Structure 1
Amino acid sequence: MPRWRIPLRAPVALAAAGVLLAGCANPSTGSAEDDPAKPVTLKFWHGWSAPGEVEAINDSIARFEKLHPNIEVRATGNVSDATTNQALRAGGDEAPDVVSSFTTNNVGQYCDSGMWVDLDPFMRKTGLDKEKVFPRSLLDYTSHQGNQCALPLLADAFGMYYNKDAFEEAGISRPPRTMSELVAAAKKLTVRSGDSYERVGFMPNFRLYQNSPDRLFAQWGPAYFDEEGHARLAEEPATYDFFETAKKLRDAQGGYDALERFRTSFGDEMSNQNAFLTGKLAMHLDGEWRGLMLEEAGAGFDWGVAPLPVPDDRPETYGRGYLTGTVVGIAHSSKHQNAAWELVRFLTADTDQVVAFANAIHNVPSTYAALKSPELDVDPAFRTFLGIARNKYSQALPPSNNGGMYVVQLQDFAYSQEAGEVPDLRKGLRRLDELIDADTLQSQN
C-alpha cells in the first residue's frame, strides 16, 4: 500500500511484533568490515506497492546501480513491518540488508532492539553532516535516545484544504489562522439540511479519514513525555486547550451525535466519494498527496491549501503542521553494511535523487537542499506543504520503544472523550498517562 493508505491504527497490528522485537537481546550480528567497492548483491525491502511508486523506487535503484556498477540491488516491495521484523529476528542469508518503513512510530523499537544499526559511524566515516543535510524535525523521528538508526526518505506534511467557492459564498476572505477563527469559519460554512447536513465547515470528529487526534494536536506543539520518558499528557496545558477546542468545533456545528451520523455517510477516503471532493466538507485536514488526487479526480470547485490554524495565544507558530514520513536503515544482520550504507546515503542524501523521487510520488523532500532545488515540481498547493515541512515549529511524534502504542491509546481516549464518555478530563488524562507508562514498562521487560 502507498504510505498514505496505511490505517491510522497500524501500530495495533504491529504491537505484538514490536514487543518481541524490543525484547531481542542478541540480534544476528553482521559486519561493517566489507569493502563497498567490491562486487556485492544487496537485498532491499520496502513497502511501496502502487505501480507508479514501485516504478519510482526501481528507477531510483537503477540510478544508484549506474553510479555503483559493482553493487546489484534486489528490491522486494509491499513488505510489512511485521514481516521485516520476523526476518531480522531470524537473521541468516535471506534477511534484507537495507530496510524501509512507513511507520515512524516504530523507530524507537528499531533502535532499542539493535536490529537496525546506528548510522552515525557511517556518516562520520563518509563525511555526511546530518545536521546540515536533514531538517531537525525529521532527524527527531529517525532516532531514539541518541541512536540514529534510521534516516528520512521523503516526508509527509499535513495542512488544511479548503473550498474556495464555499468560502466566497459564506463571505470569508481567507483561511482561518487561529483556532477561534477556525471555530467561527466552521460555523459559518456549515449548511444544515433538516436534522442532517448538506455541508460541514470542518469535521472535528477523530474517526474521520486522517483526523487521528495527534495530527491536530501537533498544532499545539505538545510534549508527550518528560525527560525520564514518563507520559505527561495530564500535566500538559496544551492537552486541555486541544480537547476544549475540539468540543467548541463540535458544538458550533451541531454537536457530536449529529456530526458523527453525517460522518458515517461519507464515501471512502481514497475514492471519488471522498467527503471533501464531493463538497460535504468545506475545510479538511489532509496531506500533500491529496492535491494530486483532487487534480486527477477533476474537483468541481476551486480549492486551496493553507497551514492548519494554531492556538490563539501562539500566532507566531502559524505555518506549522504535523510531519511524518518513510524511514530507511541498515539491518544489523547484514554482512555488507558499508555497501548498504552507500545505498542508504544515495536514497536519502543525494539531492538529485531525492528531488526525482519526490517528484515521482508527490511527497515532500527530506533534505534542505532538495527542498530548495529548482528542479522540484512545486505547484502552489505543494509549495504550502514545503513551507510546513521547513517550519521550525512543525512537529513529528516522538518515537517510543513499543511501536507507538501511546498514539493508539490517545486515539482510544479521544474517541471516548468526544462521545461524552469521559466525565472528568483531568482524571481521565491521568489514567491515560498511567496506561501509557505501564505499556512502556512492559515493553522494556
Structure 2
Amino acid sequence: MPRWRIRARVPVALAAAGLFLSGCANPSTGSADDDPTKPVTLKFWHGWSAPSEVEAINESIDRFEKLHPNITVKATENVTDATINQALRAGGGESPDVVVSFTTNNVGQYCDSGMWVDLDPFMKKTGLDKKKTFPKTLLDYTSYEGTQCALPLLADAFGMYYNKDAFEEAGIARPPRTMSEFKKAAAKLTVRRGKDSYERVGFMPNFRLYQNSPDRLFAQWGPRYFDAEGKSRLADDPKTYDYFKTTNELIDAQGGYADLEKFRATFGDEMSSQNAFLTGKLAMHLDGEWRGLMLKDAKAKFDWGVAPLPVPDDQADTYGRGFVTGTVAGIAHSSRHQNAAWELVRFLTADTDQVVDFANAIHNVPSTYAALKSPRLDADPRFRTFFRILENEHSRAMPPSTNGGAYIVSLGDFAYSVEAGREKDLRKGLRELDDQIDADNVQAEN
C-alpha cells in the first residue's frame, strides 16, 4: 500500500516531551569515528507495519547480519516522522542510528537542520558513486542545497490504470497520450445515470479523490516551483495556468464539479474492496505501482492495463513521464556508530540483490539503475511500466523545502478553491499563493 497512509503509534514518553522539529535546543552530536568491524548494535527505525512488509524488512536485516556478523540490528517498526523528529531532537541513548521516512517532503528539513548526517563523505570513503547508482530524480529528492542527507530506498511512480473492457466498449483503441486525447476519452467513457449521477466516470479529476493531490497530475507539465533564489514562482509559470485550465475542462467534459463531487461521495475507501476503480466506477485512474498487486489480490472482474499519464499537447515528446516519490533512508546525527550505520544504509539502498528482493517482496519500484535492469525483477509488464516512468528523464518529484511539505498543502488548498469555482481571479490567487509560500519559508528559516 502507499506507505504515507500507514498509521503509526507514537511512544508515550516522546509524545509527552513535546519535542518537535523547530523551536528546540540543539541535540546531542554523534560520531563517525567508530570502527564498523567491531561488535555493535544499531537501532533501526522504520514505518512498515503490514505483516508482509515487516517480514520483508526483517528478511533484509537477516541478510545484512549474515554479511556483517559483528553488527546486530534492533529494528523498531511502525514509526512516524513525527516520532523520529522528536527522538532526534531529544538525542540520547534511545534515539535511532538509522532512520527511514516514507515521505520525501521532509528531506529539506532533515538536511538543512543537520538532523540527518551528510552521506557524501561516507560514499566517498567507501567508493559508492551516487550518480552511477541512482536515477537523478531520486537523488534530487534525497538532497537539499547540495547536502545529500538521505538515499532512496525503493520508489513510487504514478501512472494511469485503465479499464480495458470499458475502452473496448467505448471504441477507444489505446490509452490517451495527450491532454486533448485525455479529455475526449474521459467524456466518451463517462456513462450517466439520470440527471445528476453516473454509472461510470471516465476520469475523476477532483483533487480530493484518493491519490489525486494536485502535485501528482501537475508533474505531467514539468513545473518549476521555485526560482534560483528559492522564491515561489507558480504565478509566473504559464504551465500553472494551462494545468488549471485543463483540469477544469476535464471537469466540465464530464458533467461539472457538483455532479462529480456527488458521485465521488459514493466511492468506497481507497484501500478497500469498494475502491472506485476496482468497482468499475472509474474507467481511468491515477495511482501508484502498488495498486496493481491490490487489483490482482482482489481478482478484479475486468481486464485492466497501465500506461503513463497523458502530457500537454505542446509537450507530446515527454510522454512516458510521471510523478515520482519514495522511501528515503538516512543516518541520525546523534548516532555514535555512524560508520556501522552507513554499512546498513549502503546495503539497503545500493546492494543490487537486496534492492531487487525487497522490491519484489513489497511491490515497489527499484531505486538503482542496476536493480531496474535485473532479470530477477517481477516480470509483469504492467508493473514494469512504472520502471519506465521512473527512468524517464522528464519525470518529476517535488523539490525539497526547508519547511517540509507546507507549500504542497498550500497548493492543495488553493486547488480545491479553483476546482470548486471559488477562485475568480486565477492570476491574483496564484500571486497570493506565492506570497504565502514565501512567507512560510521565511518563518521556517527563522
**What TM-score, normalized by structure 2, do the two folds share?**
0.96
- Secondary structure at the aligned position of 1:186 is classed as helix
Which residue pairs with 2:298 in the alignment?
297
Deviation string 1:143-195 (CA, Å, 9 cap, x unpaired) is: 00000000000000000000000000000000000000000000000000002
| 2:323 equivalent in structure 1 | 322
Q: In the alignment, what sits opposite 1:206?
A: 207
Alignment of 1:32-431 (within 5 A): 32-194=32-194, 195-431=196-432
Report the AA paired with residue 366 of structure 2. Answer: P
Contact between 1:2 and 1:48, CA under 8 Å: does it hold in 2?
Answer: no
CA distance in 1, matches of 2:265, 2:44: 40
- Pairwise CA distance, 1:6: 4.9
Query: What displacement does 1:26 show?
Result: 2.7
Q: Deviations over 1:382-417 (max 9, x none)?
A: 010010011010000001111110000000000111
- Within 2, Cα distance between the matches of 1:149 and 1:433? 27
SS in 1 for 2:230: coil
The separation in 2 between residues aligned to 1:217 and 1:181, in whole angstroms, is 17
The whole-number CA distance in structure 2 between the counterparts of 1:381 and 1:4 is 23
Task: Give the deviation of 1:365 after TM superposition.
Answer: 0.2
**Which segment is superposed worse, 21-30 or 415-424?**
21-30
For residue 27 of structure 1, report the CA deviation from its aligned partner. Answer: 3.0
Q: Give 3-state SS (helix, strand or coil) of 1:314's partner.
A: helix
User: 3-state DSSP class of the match of 1:272?
Assistant: coil
- Aligned AA (1:233): L
1:214-272 deviation per Cα after TM superposition (whole angstroms, max 9, x unaligned): 00000001000000000000001110000000011000000000001000110000011
**Does the 8 Å contact 2:20/2:82 carry over to 1?**
no
Structure 2 distance, partners of 1:254, 1:365, is 39
Instruction: Give the conservation status (yes or no) of the 8 Å contact 1:18–1:402.
Output: no
**Counterparts of 1:260 and 1:53 in 2: how far apart (Å)?**
34
8 A contact 2:257–2:419 mirrored in 1: yes
The 2-side partners of 1:238 and 1:30 are apart by: 45
> For 1:316 and 1:157, how far apart are their aligned partners in 2?
19
Aligned-residue Cα RMSD (Å) equals 1.4
TM-score by length of 1: 0.96
CA distance in 2, matches of 1:132, 1:394: 18
Q: Deviations over 1:316-351 (max 9, x none)?
A: 100000000000000000000000000000000000
Deviations 1:117-162 (A, max 9, x none): 0000000000000000000000000000000000000000000000
Distance across 1 between alignment mates of 2:248 and 2:2? 33
Q: Is the 8 A contact 1:92 1:333 kept in 2?
A: yes
- In structure 2, relative to structure 1, the CA distance for the partners of 1:360 and 1:18 (3 Å cut) is farther
Q: 1-side partners of 2:6 and 2:37: how far apart?
A: 37
- What is the match of residue 13 of structure 1? none
* Amino acid in the other structure paired with 2:422: E
Partner-residue secondary structure (3-state), 1:431:
helix
SS of the residue 2:43 aligns to: strand
Residues 10-29 of structure 1 deviation map (CA, whole Å, 9 limit, x = unaligned): xxxxxxx9994255573321
Q: Unaligned regions of 5+ residues in structure 2, if any?
A: 8-16
Distance 1:219 1:116 in 2: 31
CA contact under 8 A between 1:18 and 1:109: conserved in structure 2?
A: no
Q: Structure 1 CA distance, aligned partners of 2:249 and 2:279?
A: 25
Code of the residue aligned with 2:331 in structure 1: it is: I
Classify 1:437/1:101 alpha carbon distance in 2 versus 1 (closer, same or farther; 3 Å).
same
SS of the residue 2:105 aligns to: helix
Shift of 1:4: 5.1
Quick one: which amino acid aligns to residue 70 of structure 2? N
Aligned to 1:345, the other structure's residue is in SS state helix
Alpha carbons of structure 1 residues 240 and 408: separation in structure 2 relative to 1, 3 Å: same
Read off the aligned partner of 1:91 and give its amino acid letter: G
Shift of 1:103: 1.2
Structure 1 residue 378 displacement after superposition: 2.3
Q: Distance in 2 between matches of 1:23 and 1:349?
A: 35
Q: Whole-Å Cα distance in 2 between the matches of residues 319 and 408 of structure 1? A: 27
Distance of aligned partners of 1:114 and 1:238 in 2 relative to their CA distance in 1, 3 Å threshold: same
Contact 2:45 2:77 (8 Å CA) reproduced? yes
| Letter paired with 1:54 | V
Distance 1:85 1:93, change over 3 A: same
Asked if the contact 1:19/1:402 (under 8 Å) is kept, the reply is no
Identical aligned residues as a percent: 80
The separation in 2 between residues aligned to 1:213 and 1:19, in whole angstroms, is 31
Query: In the alignment, which residue of structure 2 is the partner of 1:11?
Result: none
Letter in 2 for 1:105: N
Counterparts of 1:334 and 1:315, CA distance in 2 = 48
Secondary structure at 2:92 match in 1: coil
Question: Is contact 1:22–1:113 with CA below 8 Å preserved after alignment?
Answer: no
> CA distance change for structure 1 residues 320 and 190 in 2, over 3 Å: closer, same or farther?
same
Cα distance in structure 1, aligned partners of 2:25 and 2:230 = 21
CA 1:2/1:290 → structure 2, altered by over 3 Å: closer, same or farther?
closer
Give the distance between the partners of 1:44 and 1:401, measured in 2 at CA. 25
In structure 2, distance between residues paired with 1:240 and 1:56: 44
Determine helix, strand or coil for the equivalent of 2:235: coil
**CA spacing shift, 1:47–1:311, aligned 2, 3 Å:** same
Deviation at 1:5, TM superposition (A): 2.6
Q: How many residue pairs are counted as aligned between the two chains? A: 436
Contact 1:152 1:348 in 2 (8 A): yes
Contact 1:2 1:49 in 2 (8 A): no
Match of 1:192, SS state, is strand
Which letter does structure 2 place at the counterpart of 1:156?
Answer: D
With over 3 angstroms needed to count, the CA separation of the structure-2 counterparts of 1:358 and 1:282, relative to structure 1, is same
Report SS of the residue matched to 1:155: strand
